[in-house]
């Protein structure tokens, strides 16, 4: 017995587009190896076209892998059609049956399994209570709002007690406020029922909010796998740093490599960056990244910080924070986010001021492209 | 003001069309139905005799019900044949869908009479079917029963109407969200269960529309029964035609036409009540 609810071993999915001589193979998923731990909220995150939905459909059985094998609860799935797999899906457009009322929609899976009527009723009632639609059983799907339809779709999937629940951007069609509320609610429901959730989204904030683990995908590959904090704090490469949250990228050349870290030359200034596992040689070009909220603006560089000089280009007040756009001597722009209020040592600057952009050495990360 | 003018210009032409080609003829028939005749002094006589004799003539009633039964048979068989056809086109044909669809429609571009005569060639006593059965030794003597019978009428009209019944079913099936079928599979349905629980109920409005496409026009059909129907294949439409063309009893023909009009409208009304009008177009709101 493995600890994984779902395992993908060397899974590749190729789609052929076009006809005859013009046909072209598109790799939606490339040799993917992935273990999704039992009972976790797992998110496949990535821009559109990165292969996340295809991965989900492969697990559900709507697509068959071109090569490789998928295991669900340790059992190989290649010969198992979707209707027998221990998974259920919440579709992006909900896919509620328009000719059945809410209760019949939710009971659908149970009816197929010939669960006795009385028990069906009890389970449906429980499920509708779980998603806060207790009185809506008699309504038709068309009479519900998007958020309510989404809950029905969730209830319809959950009543079957799947080993894994697959969710394909289920909140995509909802407005921002409802979306935020549903994110928390989905997370709570997952904790309550203890089922493994595999969630597909392109929204990094949503992924950070809900997930225990995130796999960030691009071009059919997983670029980084980890918990939200790791992905945010220790992005594996530039794409991850750029996709998750906001990042400043600063280019320099390697000046020297010591045990304490790598010294980079940015125009005339020297900064020290954590070494990481990046293999660099002296004189090579390198990029490091710092989050805007990890930077500060000072007139003088405090001790044990790293700093670059620049000129304030723009000051944008956004309530809780002030965003400074600073042009470094090298000509590159960085965004610095300063929280308003609380801290007494925050200095105010205005456009045109000469400043030091400072940060703690451990907040900068050297990146590979 | 502007709106009203626009409205009038939009509603005008179709209203005129309906008035000239539908309301006016029906109105004329209504007027004729109360006359003793259409020429001479009889023209000015107001009478209810036509209605009286229509209501008391059991031959008319028998033929009416026989026609209804024939139309019903044709519509049911056409629907049963058209459904798998439309299903195949929507779900299996893939790239060939448009080509196959065109092939299905092409016969409808040829003359209606031509298509009926084609069936005469197939069903006739020295026709294709008889010759085939003879040469295979299935029958010993050419069967004259194939043509000039009620079944010949049914076969011919089914052939004529299947493409038209298939179209609304095709449209209804095409509108079904594929995600719904995936959802059904996801929730444990075998393919046939998904068909019975999702595909079929969602396509029923299309089936109903197709059914009416065949039922309403065949009820008044007179050309096909005339050409391939023989004595047992005569329909109510032939009776009406006889009144107008042979007996020259237009008032009686008018009464019979109006009776059929009322019957059809009543029937459609009842059936559209059962399945709401919007469902007929296969639209779910």
- Condensed to tens digits (0 to 9), the pLDDT of residues A112-122 reads 999 999 999 99
Q: In what order do the strands lie in the sheet with A87-90?
A: A87-90, A164-168, A196-201, A41-45, A213-218, A221-226
Q: What is the pLDDT of residues B27-44, one digit of tens each?
A: 998 988 888 877 777 777
**Over residues B269-279, mean pLDDT:** 65
- H helices of chain A, where? 52-60, 102-112, 117-130, 146-158, 176-193, 204-210, 228-233, 238-243
Residue in B284, B129, B112 with CA at minimum distance from that of residue A96: B284
pLDDT score at B10: 87
Min Cα separation B78/chain A (Å): 25
User: Structural domains in chain B?
Assistant: 50-108+161-281 (1.10.3720.10)
Q: Give contacts of A81 with chain B, Cβ < 8 Å.
A: 185
- Distances from the Cα of A233 to the Cαs of A47, A176, A188, A208, A367, in angstroms? 20, 26, 25, 12, 12
pLDDT score at B106: 86
| Local confidence band at B279 (pLDDT 50, 70, 90 cut-offs) | very low
pLDDT score at A101: 92
Q: Could you please report the per-residue DSSP string of B73-137? A: HHHHHHHHHHHHHHHIIIII-GGGHHHHHHHHHGGGGS-HHHHHHHHHHHHSTTSHHHHHHHHHT
Q: What is the pLDDT of residues A330-362, one digit of tens each?
A: 889 999 998 887 666 777 888 988 999 999 888
B200 part of contact set with chain A, CB < 8 Å: no
CB spacing of A142 vs B190 below 8 angstroms:
no
- Contact (Cβ atoms closer than 8 angstroms) between residue A248 and residue A292: yes
In chain B, the residue whose alpha carbon lies closest to the alpha carbon of A18 is B95
Q: B220: which DSSP letter?
A: T
Largest CA distance in chain B: 78
Q: Give contacts of A89 with chain B, Cβ < 8 Å.
A: 182-183, 186
pLDDT score at A111: 94
B283 part of contact set with chain A, CB < 8 Å: no
ipTM confidence: 0.82
Q: Give contacts of A163 with chain B, Cβ < 8 Å.
A: none
CB spacing of B183 vs A97 below 8 angstroms:
yes
Residue in B238, B220, B219 with CA at minimum distance from that of residue B228: B238
Q: Which of A97, A104, A172 to mutate to test binding with chain B, by most B CBs within 10 Å of its CB?
A: A97
Interchain CB contacts (distance < 8 Å): A and B = 60
Q: Give contacts of B189 with chain A, Cβ < 8 Å.
A: 83, 112
Q: What is the pLDDT of residues B161-196, one digit of tens each?
A: 999 999 999 999 999 999 999 999 999 999 999 999
Q: Give contacts of A108 with chain B, Cβ < 8 Å.
A: 184, 187, 197
Q: What is the pLDDT of residues B83-134, one digit of tens each?
A: 999 999 999 888 888 888 888 888 888 888 888 888 888 888 777 888 888 8
pLDDT along chain A (369 residues), means of 10: 83 81 82 93 93 94 94 92 94 92 94 93 92 90 91 93 93 85 90 93 92 94 93 89 91 82 83 71 84 90 88 90 91 90 76 91 81
Measured distance between the N- and C-terminal CA atoms of chain B, rounded to whole angstroms: 33
pLDDT score at A236: 86
Q: How many CB atoms lie within 10 A of CB A288?
A: 23
* Backbone dihedral angles phi then psi of residue A277, each to the nearest 5 degrees: -95, 10
């Amino acid at each position: 017995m493995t600890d994984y609810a779902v395992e993908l071993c060397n899974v590749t999915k190729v789609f052929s587009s076009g006809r005859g001589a013009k046909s072209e193979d598109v790799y939606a998923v490339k040799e993917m190896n992935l273990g999704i731990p039992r009972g976790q909220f797992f998110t496949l995150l990535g821009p559109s076209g990165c292969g996340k939905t295809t991965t989900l459909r492969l697990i559900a059985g709507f697509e068959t892998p071109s090569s490789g094998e998928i295991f669900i609860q340790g059992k190989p799935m290649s010969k198992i059609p979707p209707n027998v797999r221990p998974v259920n899906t919440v579709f992006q457009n909900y896919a509620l049956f328009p000719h059945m009322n809410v209760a019949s929609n939710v009971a659908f899976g149970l009816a197929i399994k010939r669960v006795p009527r009385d028990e069906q009723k009890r389970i449906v009632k429980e499920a509708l209570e779980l998603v806060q639609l207790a009185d809506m059983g008699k309504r038709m799907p068309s009479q519900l709002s998007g958020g309510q339809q989404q809950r029905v779709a969730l209830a319809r999937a959950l009543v079957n007690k799947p080993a894994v629940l697959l969710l394909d951007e289920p909140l995509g069609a909802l407005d921002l406020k409802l979306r935020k509320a549903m994110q928390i609610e989905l997370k709570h429901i997952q904790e309550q029922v203890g089922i493994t959730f595999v969630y597909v989204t392109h929204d990094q904030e949503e992924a950070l909010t809900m997930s225990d683990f995130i796999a960030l995908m691009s071009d059919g590959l997983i670029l980084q796998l980890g918990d939200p904090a790791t992905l945010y704090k220790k992005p594996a490469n530039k794409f991850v740093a750029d996709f998750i949250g906001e990042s400043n990228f600063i280019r320099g050349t390697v000046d020297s490599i010591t045990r304490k870290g790598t010294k980079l030359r940015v125009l005339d200034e020297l900064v020290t960056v954590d070494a990481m596992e990046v293999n660099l040689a002296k004189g090579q070009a390198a990029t490091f990244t710092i989050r805007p909220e990890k930077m500060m603006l000072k007139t003088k560089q405090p001790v044990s910080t790293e700093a670059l000089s620049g000129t304030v280009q723009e000051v944008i007040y956004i309530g809780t924070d002030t965003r400074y756009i600073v042009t470094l001597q090298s000509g590159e722009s960085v965004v610095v986010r300063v929280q308003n209020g609380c801290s007494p040592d925050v200095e105010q600057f205005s456009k045109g001021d000469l400043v030091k952009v400072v940060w703690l050495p451990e907040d900068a990360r050297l990146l590979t492209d | 003001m502007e709106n009203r003018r626009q409205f009038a210009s939009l509603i005008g032409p179709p209203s005129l069309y309906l008035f000239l080609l539908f309301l006016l003829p029906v109105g004329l028939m209504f007027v004729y139905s109360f006359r003793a005749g259409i020429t001479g002094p009889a023209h000015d006589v107001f009478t209810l005799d036509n209605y009286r004799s229509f209501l008391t003539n059991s031959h008319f009633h028998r033929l009416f019900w026989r026609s209804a039964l024939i139309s019903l048979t044709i519509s049911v068989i056409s629907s049963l044949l058209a459904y798998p056809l439309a299903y195949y086109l929507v779900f299996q044909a893939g790239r060939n869908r448009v080509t196959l669809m065109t092939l299905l429609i092409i016969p409808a571009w040829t003359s209606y009479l031509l298509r009926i005569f084609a069936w005469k060639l197939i069903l006739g006593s020295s026709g294709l079917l008889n010759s085939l059965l003879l040469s295979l030794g299935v029958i010993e003597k050419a069967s004259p029963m194939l043509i000039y019978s009620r079944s010949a009428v049914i076969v011919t009209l089914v052939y004529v109407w299947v493409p038209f019944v298939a179209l609304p079913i095709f449209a209804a099936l095409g509108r079904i969200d594929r995600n719904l079928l995936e959802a059904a599979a996801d929730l444990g349905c075998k393919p046939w269960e998904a068909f019975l629980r999702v595909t079929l109920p969602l396509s029923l409005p299309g089936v109903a529309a197709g059914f009416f496409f065949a039922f309403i026009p065949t009820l008044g059909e007179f050309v096909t029964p005339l050409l391939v129907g023989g004595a047992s294949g005569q329909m109510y439409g032939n009776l009406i035609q006889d009144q107008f063309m042979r007996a020259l009893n237009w008032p009686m023909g008018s009464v019979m036409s109006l009776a059929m009009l009322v019957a059809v409208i009543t029937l459609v009304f009842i059936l559209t009540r059962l399945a709401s009008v919007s469902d007929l177009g296969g639209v779910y709101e």
